[in-house]
Structure formats: C-alpha cells, structure tokens
Structure 1
Amino acid sequence: MNYLERLTILLLLVACNKKSDVTPAPVDEKPGTLTYVSATLNGKSIQPFIDIHVQPEIKIRFSMPVNRSSASEKILISDLSGGKVNASYNFERNDSVVSIKPASSLQHLSQYKIQMLPGLLASSNASLQAGQDIAFATSIDSSRKFPALSDAALLDTIQKRTFKYFWDYGHPVSGLARERSNATPETVTSGGSGFGIMAIVVGIDRGFITKAQGLNRMQTIVSFLKNKAQKFHGAFPHWLNGSTGEVIPFSQNDNGADLVETSFLMMGLLTARQYFNSTDAAEVSLIKDINSLWNAVEWNWFRQNNQDVLYWHWSPTASWAINLKIQGWNECLVTYVLGASSTTHSIPKTAYDIGFARNGE
C-alpha cells in the first residue's frame, strides 16, 4: 500500500468518527388535505334537513382530527341574513368529529346554514380546500298558543266566522256575496249568494245577528235580484255587477244564464222563504218576492228543444254555443231536483233518468 492509499484511508476513518456540527435540513412534509365526510342533525343523516328541533345537536365528521381553535373560527352557523349564531363546540373520535350546539334556541320555522369555510385546519396542519354549506330548516312551534276549545266551542267558532264572511263582505248595494273578499269588489256571484243566504238563516238562528237584521239584508238581496239583476228565461248569470245588476261575463260565451249557479241561489232563497214564514207583513212581502223569482225560472226551456237533459249555459249573443250538458254524478243534482219541483216550468222524469243519471251509468 503506497503513501497515497494510506492517507486516503486515514482521512475516511477520521471523517467517520467525527460528529457533524451542522444541523440537517428538515424534511419537507406535505400534510395532505382535510375533507368533509358527513353530518348529522339530531341523529338525522339524510338530507334535506327539515323539521329540525330548535336546539339541535350538529355533528360533523372529517377525514382526520381537526384543530380545535380553527374549528370554532371556520365552522359557523348563520341565518339567511348572514347573522352568526353563537354556539359551543365539543370534539369526539380523537377530534375527527366536531359536535356543535347553538348557545340558545333557534327560531321556529326558519332556515339556517352550517358553513365549513376553506382554510379549516386539521391537527396535522392539513386544511380544507373547498368550503361546504349544509342548509337546514327548523320545525314549527307546536306549543299551544290559545286556550283549548271544546269540540262544540270550536264548531261554534268556525260557524260564526264562516257566517261573518258572507255578512261582513256582502256587497253594500245588493247584499250579494262577493266572488272574493280582497279583489274585484263589484263582482258578486249568484251561486255563492245562495250559500250566503243560507248563512244568514243560520246566523239568525244562532243569535249571531237579530232576525230584524237578517230580514233587512234579505229584503235588500231579493229586491236587487227582482228589480236590477239581469235574468235570462228566469235564470241568473254566474257573475253580476253588485251595484248595477249587469252581467259580468265568466268567459267569452258565458255571458248569460247559468242554470247550476241559479240552482244554488234558488236553494238559498227557498230556505229563507220557509224560515221567514210568518204573518208579519214584511216577511209575507219577502216570501211573495221570493216566489216570483222561483216561479220565473224556465227549467224546462233549458232542455234545449225538449231533449231529455238540461243544459248549463245559455248566452244572449252565442245561444247554446257552450253546449254543456248537466250530467252526474256531481253537485248538479240539485238542478234536477229543483227543475222537477217547479210548479210553473217543471222537467219530466225522463230528463233526470236519461240526462243526469244517464240511464244508470
């Protein structure tokens, strides 16, 4: 071994036995990505999250343990206006599950969202790259708001409020029932007025109004129907102007008689006729006027050339253009009952058998 070889071996031995006084560079560790896995609200895991209790327990699972302080900054509950909901945070499963509870009850029947913001850190410094929102809606407040009512008291309340629709919103000129309480204030309905008249009879009988009040309203209604309202072969249109009595067309060719709506009106009028049946002069006069309206309806004419069926519409400009037969089974049975009951313009039994009942079909 020559000198050069010996020197090389010596240098290598010295190098191997000497401790380095230079700190090694740290390894560049890439921590990976934190991901959202699943969520439950009060144990529910299937979206949409609706009907959620106003004191919910929200549990959010991540792919790895999260940084606790980061969780309270980056996982938020807010309402639709963006207002933050204060909440407490707890951690489960080695901090991979964040459990959140609002500090106070949420609003009933309201919408909220849980926001997981980008930058949420894991314990390993991994971070949530993409934000995640979870929407939820709270339940209705089912607690009792008013004193409990008995079944009888509840039915009384419903009956009185139904009556009040027809009484309070009756047209100020004609007294007839408006088609709507908050729109087209001049449009009154003939059939709806039949139900309104029935309600007036009930209102008197139940003591919601006096008999004198009810009689006064009935006199207004009947006088208007007799003297102002347009009629066609004794039948009324579906809609009328409550001040003038002129037809308001229901459709292009429905600008004249509506026999079914007329039936509902007559049903109410005949009920009132029987209810006010007394020797009082005002009531006797009312009964006489109702009878004149009742007797004027030409039920048999609406068979359209003596067919064994009644027709629903007739127009002064389009005649029988709608050409709609009144056939059952439906609410129009009353039209045939009244037509058969008329002492002035009655229909034959065959009109019912063949027209409404369709020979048993």
Structure 2
Amino acid sequence: MKMYHSLLFLLLLPVFTQCKSPDSQPVPMSDEALMDTVQRSTFNYFWDGAEPNSGLAPERIHMDGVYPEDDRNVVTSGGSGFGIMAILAGIDRGYVTRSEGLARMKKIVSFLETADRFHGVYPHWWYGETGKVKPFGRKDNGGDLVETAFLMQGLLAVHQYYINGSSEEQALAQRIDTLWRDVEWNFYRQDEQNVLYWHWSPEYGWEMNFPVHGYNECLILYILAAASPTHGVPAAVYHEGWAQNGAIVAPHKVEGIDLHLRYQGCEVSPLFWAHYSFLGLNPTGLKDEYCASYFDEMRNLALVNRAYCIRNPKNWKGFGPDCWGLTASYSVNGYVAHKPDEQDDLSVISPTAALSSIVYTPEYSLEVMRHLYDMGEKVFGPYGFYDAFSETEDWYPKRYLAIDQGPIAVMIENYRSGLLWKLFMSHPDVQAGLKKLGF
C-alpha cells in the first residue's frame, strides 16, 4: 500500500512543482528529479507488473485490459533480460530493499532453471504459469538465440552484483553461472558454419533459416557466443558471420550525418539497434577493426533519427526538436519497425527511442522527456510512458511492451551512474570474449 501511494504521488507530480523561488516564480523540476520519476515508474513495469509465478516481464501490459488471445500471462525472455537490469538499478537506488530484490531474483532464476530450453537456449516466449514454450510463430517454437543473448546480458550483470555479496547472494550468482555455462552457442552454428543462426526447433530444426549478419541489434549475441567458457565459438564466426569479412563497413551519410556501418536491409535503422546490445555492453571507447567508435556510431544513429523528425518531410503534427524518436513499437495499425524514411514513418512517436538514447544525446533526450512528461496522462501512466502515440492520428493507446520499457530504465541508469555497464563489463568472461574478437 505504501508503494502504491508513493507511485500515485509521483504520477501526480507536475513538471513544475508547487514550491516557489524567492521571486515567487515556479521552480522547474530538476533533470535529476525528472529522470528519477521516469526511471522509478518504468521500473514498476518489471516489479509490480511482473508475472506472479515466474517473476519475469509480461510481453505486454494493456491498461485497457484487451489482449491478443491467450496472451495475458505470456512472459518474454529478451524483455525480461532488460527488466532484470532495470530491477538491479531499482535495488541499487532503494526503490525496493536489497532483500526484496534478492527474493525476486531467486524466483526468476528458479523459473529459468526449469523452464523450456533448447540446447541451453531459451525461447522467445513462455507461459508464465508453467514455463512451457509459447510459439512466437508456427516454426518458431524452440530456441531463440538472440533473445537468449539479451537475457544473458542481464543475468551476467546480476551475477556481478551478487558475486561478492552475502553467502545467499553468492549462491545465487553460482546458479546464474550454471545457466550461463549451459547455453550451447556453438550448436547454433548449424554444423560448424562460421555464422550463428537465430532459431532452432526440435520439431522444425533449422527451417526458420535465419543466419545473423550485422549490423543490427545483435552485436551482443556474437560477443557472448565468443565469451562462453563452455560452448564458445571461434573468432572466425564473428569476422565471417557477423562482419561478413568486412562487408559490414559501408560509410554513408543520412541527413548529412556520417554513418560508418552497413545497416542490414536499410540505409538507416530503427533506433532500438542503438540500444539492445549496449544496455550492458559499454560503447564508450569500444572499437574493433570494423568501427573506430561504437559510441560515436550509435550517437550519430540517434542524431539522424532526431534530424529526420525535425525536418519532418511528411509534416506530421507534433514532430520537432522536443518530440522525436522512431523505432519498433505499436503503431496505428499493428506493430511496425518505424525508422527515418518516408515509407516507415507513420506519424508515430515511440518514447523509448529518444529516452533510451539518453547516454548518446543527453541534452536532446531530456528535452523529449520533459516535453512528453508535460503532455500528462495521455502519454504517461503507472508504468512510465506508454509505448507509442500519434498526435496526427489523435491516437494514444494506454499500452506497454516490455522490450520497449526496459531500455528506458536501463539507459537512464547508465546515464546517471553507469551501473549496468560497470557490472556487465566487469565479468571476466565478457572481458575474455571482447579480447578474443579484437575489441
């Protein structure tokens, strides 16, 4: 009840507080207070909104109570990886106590120890009550290596948070280590090819046939596959599969801004490609033979997104310097990977795009955060900003997706303290994997 009242108070806070300065002018909410309000509310998606049996993140939470058939209690592996990191930050900030946080992490790990796995690899979705796979598609009913990488990114951060703690915390870290060592990354090369495949099914085998090449959101997949101490892949898998023997390098300009990498299938990508791999992997100072600065590349990707929305070639209502951000999210018609081109720009702003870019574009992202918060309950609810909206279409669905909420809370924390970056990057296996690949 106390937490509920605290949350209600936060939701009712205006952007301008009621306290007065000596000259009786309203005092704007500080950037720190604004970030904390947004982070705390978004954290609650993964804390109060968690599926009860597993403790994991629901794929979606719809405040209108309308769900796809058989989807209300479905939990997501990748979104839960992001959520685990958001919970860690909440523990560290005192949103919940350390003992409450440990109890939740133990529940999550217990679920993961018995839930469906396929050569150590988790599916995209489970039924939260049973741990049985829910197919993401007809043939996608087995292991999802990319979503597993997102989950492992979070678990390795948890491992580092607890490894030097109490005996109970250290015991949990050891259980996480077992889950990490069980992932058979090498199996997903499909007969020792020098590339990783996204899916494998016990029923359909390799029929999904999705080799993962870069650049997209999957860099973390190749780093963790190289880092595994038990089922690791050789460096050639990265260089030939991900980087395609250097073809990943393709310097070009978009909106007059330099991009160095080839964005697979498009000139410029949805903005989540700058987020998912870098929730734990710190892009600051990160480089390899294909990219001299991953931080600069991802910053430029965000700046392209912003510049396009300011130019606003389709003249949408609301787009501008304080309202930008195109990425994969709910849309006016289904789910769309919005991006800065006229075909995939449907007037929809996805708050996660600009807010999760705060580590790259802090001043610009804070402008968006403040503007959106000032819009009030049309776009902000009990678990932070709703997934997407369109002022042009007067479309404001009160719905959330885990995979969009998680990066907001995690990247705000990384901007404020670097906590998740410090934890993940400190893992010795991660350091070994980066060295192996030439980072």
**Length-normalised TM-score, structure 2:** 0.49
1:250 is aligned to 136
Q: Structure 2 matches for 1:1-361, cutoff 5 A?
A: 147=18, 148-182=28-62, 183=67, 184-226=71-113, 228-361=114-247
Cα offset for 1:177? 0.4
Amino acid at match of 1:224: F
1:146 & 1:242 partners in 2: Cα distance?
41
Task: Report 1 or 2 for greater relative contact order, CA contacts < 8 Å, sequence distance ≥ 6.
Answer: 2
Secondary structure of the residue aligned to 1:330 is coil
1:219 & 1:144 partners in 2: Cα distance?
37
Amino acid at match of 1:282: E
Cα offset for 1:282? 1.3
1:285 & 1:265 partners in 2: Cα distance?
19
1:210 & 1:327 partners in 2: Cα distance?
41
2:351 is aligned to none
Q: Flag the structure with larger Rg.
A: 1
Stretches of structure 2 that go unaligned for 5 or more consecutive residues are 1-13, 19-27, 248-439
Secondary structure of the residue aligned to 1:311 is coil
Cα offset for 1:309? 0.2
2:237 & 2:246 partners in 1: Cα distance?
13
1:161 & 1:186 partners in 2: Cα distance?
21
Secondary structure of the residue aligned to 1:337 is helix
1:169 & 1:252 partners in 2: Cα distance?
28
> Is the 8 Å Cα contact of residues 122 and 148 (structure 2) preserved in structure 1?
yes
1:321 & 1:211 partners in 2: Cα distance?
44
Secondary structure of the residue aligned to 2:60 is coil
Cα offset for 1:279? 4.7
Deviations 1:85-107 (A, max 9, x none): xxxxxxxxxxxxxxxxxxxxxxx
Cα offset for 1:179? 0.3
Secondary structure of the residue aligned to 1:217 is helix
Secondary structure of the residue aligned to 1:181 is strand
Distance 1:208 1:330, change over 3 A: same
Root mean square deviation, CA, Å: 1.4
1:177 & 1:302 partners in 2: Cα distance?
26
2:189 & 2:220 partners in 1: Cα distance?
16
1:103 is aligned to none
Secondary structure of the residue aligned to 2:224 is helix
Cα offset for 1:152? 1.2
Cα offset for 1:144? 7.1
Distance 1:259 1:145, change over 3 A: same
Aligned residue pair count = 218
1:161 & 1:320 partners in 2: Cα distance?
40
1:255 & 1:163 partners in 2: Cα distance?
29
Amino acid at match of 1:244: T
Cα offset for 1:359? 1.1
> Is the 8 Å Cα contact of residues 16 and 29 (structure 2) preserved in structure 1?
no
Amino acid at match of 2:44: K
2:164 & 2:96 partners in 1: Cα distance?
19
Amino acid at match of 1:261: E
> Is the 8 Å Cα contact of residues 56 and 76 (structure 2) preserved in structure 1?
yes
| Identity within the alignment, % | 53
Secondary structure of the residue aligned to 2:104 is helix
2:17 & 2:198 partners in 1: Cα distance?
46
Larger proportion of strand: 1
Cα offset for 1:285? 1.5
> Is the 8 Å Cα contact of residues 196 and 237 (structure 2) preserved in structure 1?
yes
> Is the 8 Å Cα contact of residues 15 and 29 (structure 2) preserved in structure 1?
no
Cα offset for 1:207? 1.0
Amino acid at match of 1:176: L
Secondary structure of the residue aligned to 2:147 is helix
Secondary structure of the residue aligned to 1:254 is coil
Cα offset for 1:281? 2.2
2:35 & 2:218 partners in 1: Cα distance?
27
**Length-normalised TM-score, structure 1:** 0.59
Amino acid at match of 1:243: E
Amino acid at match of 2:105: M
Deviations 1:34-88 (A, max 9, x none): xxxxxxxxxxxxxxxxxxxxxxxxxxxxxxxxxxxxxxxxxxxxxxxxxxxxxxx
1:321 & 1:248 partners in 2: Cα distance?
18
1:212 & 1:278 partners in 2: Cα distance?
15
Distance 1:146 1:292, change over 3 A: same
